[in-house]
């Protein structure tokens, strides 16, 4: 049967968030939202809720006024909700009898169903402790009568943690006969719980209690199982007594594990769907991009075939150049696809050799500047070493991809800084631009194949370049990282380890 939760909240936006949060928990909870203290009291008078979630500040008073206060105990649990900066008020509310408090944010409000479940479990433990402590105060005989009928395992201990009394449910849970437990240390049942008990005993006084905590219990046959233990301290005839309520939570843990597995499968399914969407988008994009150079090639070849004898030499050369550029563009796209496919199938070998790193980088910069008809790349070399150990073809792909991206995604008058630090044990390549940057929502997936940032439609791309950069960097046993702010620019850092000193003369 669904448990009734009373929500006292005067902020409409927060009330709507809370309503949405509980909408998927209708089988477990029914909710009623009111926005004033007087309405809350009226509803409580008509029907006591299983739990109340109460805002601290209300139009007609304070939410803590619903607490019984003084020596009178609350008849139902109250969790107070507060805004940032009011935590001290919330702590005072807990001292007055509130079960817990929540600082209101969008994230915490959506987690209220889980907070409600936890609070109700804790309230059950509190009620059980109240009953158990009342029995303790009446008489040992009455206490024994209660603990024998309790649904939870009950253990009563002295101030040194020696077992004085157990109930039948405890015997069933742990497989012991009570005669084999009386006088024995609590650690026999759970060493973890016993350690926490020892820590509590240093400062505990009558009335001290702990909410249910999870431990591993140990049965008589040596097997372990998950338990929840709630501890409370009381004073009887000048002697400290400790009561432990123990619950077998095997089913709950199994259910939690099943939920985690279900969520993991849902996440994997969504990732698979997203990958398929990207692949579909990629194929559509490739189809479109293939058509553009193919149309240019076809158009120029038709003109040359049908009207070539009427064209000037310059006109014919212009059409031949268009055909060449179209073919190269097709080659680039096909090569990117094949490169990543081969890397996925581990058919690419990294074959590093010693090369002049400065000359290699300068040559790449010159070629890119020619291709883009620009002089925007500023190259800097740090350190005295000129030689480095790397695979020429793989590193060329890495640097060309990053440098061309830096140019494509920055303004025509933008600046690209390409620096290389050739150190004893590593080479660090840094490429920084002041371009459009990468949106924060895309940054966690920027190295995934087929994924393009949401603002990358300003320039052509297959969504494979950075995936290739990552694969080829890892083939060097290196790392690639980046820092970016949308609208401010991006900086990529590629680090490739180098052999130890003496492997080559690199000075």
- Of the pLDDT bands very low, low, confident and very high (cuts 50, 70, 90), residue 280 is confident
Q: What is the pLDDT averaged over residues 339-354?
A: 70
CATH 3.40.50.2300 fits 3-110, yes or no: yes
The answer on pLDDT for 136 being more than 70 is no
The boundaries of every CATH 3.30.565.10 domain in the chain are 353-497
- Of the pLDDT bands very low, low, confident and very high (cuts 50, 70, 90), residue 506 is very low
CB 55 within 8 A of CB 81: yes
The answer on pLDDT for 13 being more than 80 is yes
CATH number of 254-344: 1.10.287.130
Cβ count near 200 (within 10 Å): 15
CB 220 within 8 A of CB 174: yes
The residue ranking higher by pLDDT, 209 or 499, is 499
Q: Which of 45-59, 217-231, 338-352, 363-377 has the lowest mean pLDDT?
A: 338-352
The answer on pLDDT for 401 being more than 70 is yes
What is the reported pLDDT for 210? 73
CB 79 within 8 A of CB 99: yes
Q: Which of 250, 258, 244 is nearest to 212 (CA)?
A: 244
Q: Which of 134, 168, 124 is nearest to 149 (CA)?
A: 168
Q: Which of 234, 215, 212, 211 is nearest to 224 (CA)?
A: 215
Residue 380's Cβ-count burial label (10 Å; 0-12, 13-18, 19+) is: exposed
Please write the tens of the pLDDT for every residue from 175-190.
Answer: 999 899 999 999 999 9
Q: Which residue has the tokens 């649904």?
A: 151
Listed ranges 125-134, 284-293, 412-421; the one with the highest mean pLDDT: 412-421
Please write the tens of the pLDDT for every residue from 465-493.
Answer: 888 899 899 999 999 999 999 989 999 99
Please write the tens of the pLDDT for every residue from 75-95.
Answer: 888 998 887 666 677 677 777
Q: Which residue has the tokens 């590093």?
A: 352
The H-or-E segment that residue 235 falls in is: strand 224-236
The first and second tokens of residue 503, run together, are: 């492997």
Q: What is the pLDDT averaged over residues 348-374?
A: 88
- Of the pLDDT bands very low, low, confident and very high (cuts 50, 70, 90), residue 505 is very low
The answer on pLDDT for 143 being more than 50 is yes
Q: Which of 23-37, 187-201, 281-295, 342-356 has the lowest mean pLDDT?
A: 281-295
Which residues, 6+ apart, have CB-to-CB distance to 498 below 8 Å? 388, 389, 423, 424, 425, 426, 427
Please write the tens of the pLDDT for every residue from 58-72.
Answer: 899 888 888 866 556
The boundaries of every CATH 3.40.50.2300 domain in the chain are 3-110
What is the reported pLDDT for 127? 86
What is the reported pLDDT for 108? 87
Spatial separation of the C-alpha atoms in residues 56 and 40, rounded to whole Å: 13
What is the reported pLDDT for 484? 93
The boundaries of every CATH 1.10.287.130 domain in the chain are 254-344
Q: For all residues of the chain together, what is the average pLDDT?
A: 84
DSSP 95: H
The answer on pLDDT for 288 being more than 70 is no
Q: What is the pLDDT averaged over residues 411-422?
A: 89
The boundaries of every CATH 3.30.450.20 domain in the chain are 138-248
Whole-model pTM: value is 0.40
Tell how far CA 502 is from the center of its chain.
Answer: 44
CATH 3.30.460.80 fits 353-497, yes or no: no
CATH number of 138-248: 3.30.450.20
DSSP 188: G
Please write the tens of the pLDDT for every residue from 431-443.
Answer: 999 989 999 888 8
Which residues, 6+ apart, have CB-to-CB distance to 134 below 8 Å? none
CB 140 within 8 A of CB 121: no
Percent of the chain residues topping a pLDDT of 70 = 85
Residue 180: φ, ψ to 5°: -85, 0
What is the reported pLDDT for 283? 66
Pairing of strands 3-8, 29-34: parallel
Measure the CA angle with vertex 313, ends 310 and 317; round to 5°. Answer: 110
Which SS3 state, helix, strand or coil, does residue 203 take? Answer: coil
The first and second tokens of residue 373, run together, are: 């008809």
């Amino acid at each position: 049967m669904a448990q009734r939760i009373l929500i006292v909240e005067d902020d409409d936006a927060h009330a709507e968030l809370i309503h949405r949060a509980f909408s998927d928990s209708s089988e477990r909870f029914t909710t009623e939202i009111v926005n004033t203290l007087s309405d809350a009291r009226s509803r409580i008078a008509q029907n006591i809720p299983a739990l109340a979630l109460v805002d601290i500040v209300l139009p007609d008073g304070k939410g803590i006024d619903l607490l019984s206060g003084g020596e009178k105990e609350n008849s139902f649990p109250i969790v107070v909700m507060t805004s940032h900066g009011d935590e001290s008020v919330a702590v005072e509310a807990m001292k007055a009898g509130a079960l817990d408090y929540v600082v209101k944010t969008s994230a915490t409000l959506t987690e209220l169903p889980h907070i409600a479940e936890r609070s109700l479990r804790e309230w059950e433990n509190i009620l059980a402790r109240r009953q158990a402590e009342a029995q303790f105060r009446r008489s040992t005989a009455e206490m024994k009568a209660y603990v024998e009928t309790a649904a939870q395992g009950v253990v009563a201990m002295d101030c040194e943690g020696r077992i004085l009394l157990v109930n039948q449910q405890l015997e069933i849970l742990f497989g012991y006969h009570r005669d084999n437990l009386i006088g024995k240390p609590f650690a026999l049942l759970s060493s973890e719980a016993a350690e926490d008990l020892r820590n509590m005993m240093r400062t505990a006084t009558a009335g001290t209690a702990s909410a249910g905590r999870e431990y591993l219990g140990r049965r008589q046959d040596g097997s372990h199982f998950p338990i929840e233990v709630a501890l409370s301290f009381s004073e009887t005839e000048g002697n400290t007594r400790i009561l432990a309520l123990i619950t077998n939570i095997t089913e709950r843990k199994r259910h939690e594990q099943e939920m985690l597995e279900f969520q993991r499968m849902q996440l994997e399914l969504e990732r698979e769907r997203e990958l398929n969407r990207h692949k579909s988008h990629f194929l559509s994009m490739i189809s479109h991009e293939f058509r553009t150079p193919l149309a240019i090639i076809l158009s120029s070849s038709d003109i040359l075939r049908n009207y070539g004898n009427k064209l000037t030499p310059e006109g014919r050369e212009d059409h031949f150049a268009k055909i060449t550029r179209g073919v190269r563009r097709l080659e680039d796209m096909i090569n990117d696809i094949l490169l990543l496919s081969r890397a996925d199938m581990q058919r690419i070998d990294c074959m590093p050799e010693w090369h002049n790193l400065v000359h290699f980088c300068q040559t790449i910069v010159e070629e890119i500047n020619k291709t883009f008809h620009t002089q925007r790349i500023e190259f800097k070399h740090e350190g005295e070493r000129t030689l480095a150990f790397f695979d020429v073809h793989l590193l060329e792909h890495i640097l060309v991809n990053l440098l061309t991206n830096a140019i494509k995604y920055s303004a025509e008058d933008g600046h690209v800084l390409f620096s290389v630090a050739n150190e004893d044990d590593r080479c660090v390549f840094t490429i920084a631009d002041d371009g459009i940057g990468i949106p924060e929502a895309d940054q966690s997936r920027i190295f995934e194949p087929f994924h393009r940032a949401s603002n990358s439609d300003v320039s052509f791309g297959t969504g494979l370049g950075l995936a290739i950069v990552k694969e080829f960097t890892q083939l060097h046993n290196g790392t690639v990282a980046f820092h970016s702010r949308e609208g401010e620019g991006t900086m990529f850092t590629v680090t490739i380890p180098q052999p130890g000193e003496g492997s080559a003369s690199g000075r």
